[in-house]
């Protein structure tokens, strides 16, 4: 089985490749082919070929009708419908109104001011407060103990300010 592994089963006749070249050139020799090509071109054919081609191209050019894929009026209709839907959504969507200052959290306002985003000093701030606002403040309630207040002042106020105040 291993001996016949590379044998294809095809055999060439004896002396086939020795005289192959002679047989090939014998079949394709020039004497077997005709002397003329069989095709002839009329006299002056190539001299006026360009003019004749241009005349036929110009004569065959007709204005072609272009059919658009989408009509322009449909785009207008779609834009009008979209505008109406948007306007209706804006008018009739009144679930909640969070546009006032009441919706802002006090912590967010404090953070905004502490980060230095609000450029306002104490004098400007006091100009917004009326005497009525000050009298409405209830100063009798002691929300902080004296020790808490003292610790806060010691941590957050510089020593020079404390010395100047005494």
From CA 106, how far away is CA 159, in angstroms rounded? 30
- Per-residue pLDDT of 17-33, as tens digits, reads 888 888 888 777 766 67
Mean pLDDT over each residue of the chain, to the nearest integer: 78
pTM of the model: 0.22
What tokens appear for 35 in the block? 């002397």
pLDDT at res. 2: 60
* Highest mean pLDDT: which range of 38-47, 95-104, 155-164: 38-47
The domain segmentation of the chain, as residue ranges, is 99-136
Q: Does the pLDDT of residue 148 top 70, yes or no?
A: yes
CA distance 163 to 166: 6
pLDDT in the model for residue 30: 64
Mapping DSSP onto H, E and C, the string for 51-114 reads HHHHHHHHHHCCCCCCCCCCCHHHHHHHHHHHHHHHHHHHHHCCCCCCCCHHHCCHHHHHHHHH
Which carries the bigger pLDDT value, residue 30 or residue 144? 144
Lowest mean pLDDT among 6-15, 72-81, 101-110, 125-134: 101-110
* 68-82 mean pLDDT: 84
CA distances from 18 to 13, 34, 35 (A): 11, 29, 31
């Amino acid at each position: 089985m291993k001996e016949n592994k590379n044998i294809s089963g095809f055999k060439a006749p004896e002396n086939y490749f020795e005289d192959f070249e002679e047989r090939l050139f014998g079949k394709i020799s020039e004497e077997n082919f005709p002397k003329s090509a069989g095709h002839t071109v009329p006299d002056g054919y190539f001299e006026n070929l360009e003019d004749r081609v241009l005349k036929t191209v110009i004569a065959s050019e007709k204005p072609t009708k272009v059919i658009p894929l989408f009509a322009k009026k449909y785009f207008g209709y779609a834009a009008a419908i979209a505008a109406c839907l948007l306007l209706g959504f804006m008018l009739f969507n009144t679930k909640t109104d969070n546009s006032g200052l009441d919706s802002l959290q006090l912590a967010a306002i404090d953070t905004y001011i502490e980060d230095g985003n609000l450029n306002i000093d104490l004098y400007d701030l006091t100009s917004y407060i009326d005497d009525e606002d000050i009298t409405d403040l209830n100063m009798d309630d002691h929300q902080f103990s004296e020790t808490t207040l003292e610790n806060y002042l010691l941590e957050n106020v510089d020593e020079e300010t404390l010395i100047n105040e005494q």
